[in-house]
């Protein structure tokens, strides 16, 4: 799971062009949106697309579920490992 968390951190940094951050700067349990990394709704869409491309995971339109999956790097890793197709 730690390897997947590391991979997702890299994906977040590359996809969102977080040029000043390194994977080790991201706390896997910290919030990604608003607080923590301070990402916004466009970032969420961009990240959803990147996850779909990298792991074949489809995000439902249910926003409550998505909010849970996108809560942190750790939550994303849990979601990806449960649903990944590639």
Partner 1 sequence: MMRRRVDRLGRIALHAAYTCQGDSPPRPMVFASRYGDMGRSVELLEQLAQATPLSPTSFSLSVHNAIGALYSIARGDLTAQSAVAAGAETVEAAFVEACGLLSEGAPEVLVVVYDEPRPAPFAHFPEQVSFPHAWACSLRPAGDGATYQLSCSASTGAPERASGDVLPEELSVLRFLVSGDARFEHHTGSRLWRWHRDA
Residues at the site binding partner 1, with contacts judged by CB under 8 A = 16-19, 38, 42-43, 45-46, 49, 52-53
Nearer to partner 1, 12 or 71 (CB): 12
Comparing CB distances to partner 1, the nearer of 4 and 16 is 16
Q: Find the shortest distance in angstroms from Cβ 76 to partner 1.
A: 17
Nearer to partner 1, 5 or 43 (CB): 43
66: left (phi over 0), alpha (psi -120 to 50) or beta: alpha
CA distance 54 to 49: 9
Q: Are 5 and 28 in contact (CB under 8 A)?
A: yes
């Amino acid at each position: 799971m730690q390897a997947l968390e590391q991979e997702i951190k890299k994906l977040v940094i590359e996809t969102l062009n977080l040029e000043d951050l390194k994977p080790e700067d991201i706390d896997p349990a910290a919030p990604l949106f608003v607080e923590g990394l301070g990402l916004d709704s466009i970032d969420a869409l961009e990240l959803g697309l990147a996850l779909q491309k990298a792991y074949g995971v489809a995000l439902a339109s249910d926003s409550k579920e998505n909010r849970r999956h996108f809560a942190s790097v750790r939550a994303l890793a849990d979601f990806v490992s449960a649903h990944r197709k590639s």
